[in-house]
Amino acid sequence: MAKLYFNYGVMNAGKSLNLIKDAYNYEESGRRVLAFKPAIDTRNDKIESRIGLRRDAINVANDDDIYALFETENRRLRAEEGLHFSAVFVDECHFLTAQHIVQLSDIVDRLSVPVLCYGLRTDAFGQLFEGSARLFALADEINEIKGMCRYSESKATFVMRLDEQGRPIRQGQQICIGGNDHYVSCSRKEYKKRMTL
């Protein structure tokens, strides 16, 4: 039975790496997969892990219909190769809209194609992203990809945004695209300690 999966973790936990590995495993067994990523993440036009592995993906804008995009790509694959997509992979799913998540669930429910989403749970201020909140409500399976705290031996559960001097930023826009130059992952204890200094 096809399912909607939400694989979440902090930054640097290996979410994109897991996506690339899982998609490769599907393909190695002779299946075809389709990958999506939000267009808002302009750092790269591909899904890329920190260790340098990459794979192609279709960029999704806020007003795109992911279900329609999938059906278009599936028809193309069927016409060109007589095949169909066996799974959908989505990177940075926290940046998707709630409607996108419903559309992904429609791929599962109407077409019996599994959808595997990878992303953050919360923003740098401890609030759920729109896409993550909808996935927590709709996903059939929710899995944590664990990461390590930058400051302790604990598991990281929060992401902190830093300014140019390395100080925590306590307010601002929810979305600020960046990597290790802007963010660190930390435990709840360390997050609370540094955000209340």
Going by pLDDT thresholds of 50, 70 and 90, the confidence category of residue 169 is: confident
Residue 16 counted as an annotated binding residue: yes
Per-residue pLDDT tens digits for 137-166:
999 999 999 999 999 999 999 998 888 887
Strand order in 58-60's β-sheet?
58-60, 32-38, 85-90, 115-119, 4-8, 141-144
Alpha carbon 97 to chain centroid, angstroms:
12
Confidence grade of residue 80 (pLDDT, cut at 50, 70, 90)? very high
Residue 91 annotated as binding?
Answer: yes
Q: Check whether 177 is labelled as a binding-site residue.
A: yes
Q: In the prediction, which pLDDT does 174 show?
A: 61
Q: Is 84 annotated as ligand-binding? A: no
Question: Collapsing DSSP states into helix, strand and coil, what is residue 69?
Answer: helix
Q: Which residues are catalytic?
A: 92
List pLDDT tens digits, range 2-56: 999 999 999 889 999 999 999 999 999 999 999 999 998 666 778 888 888 899 9
Q: Count Cα neighbours of 184 within 13 Å in the Cβ-side half-sphere.
A: 18
Cβ neighbours around 123 below 10 Å, total: 19
pTM confidence score: 0.91
117 marked as part of a ligand binding site? no
All structural domains of the chain, each given as residue ranges with its CATH number in brackets, are 4-146 (3.40.50.300)
Joined together, the tokens standing for residue 142 give: 């929710």
State the amino acid at position 87 in one-letter form.
A
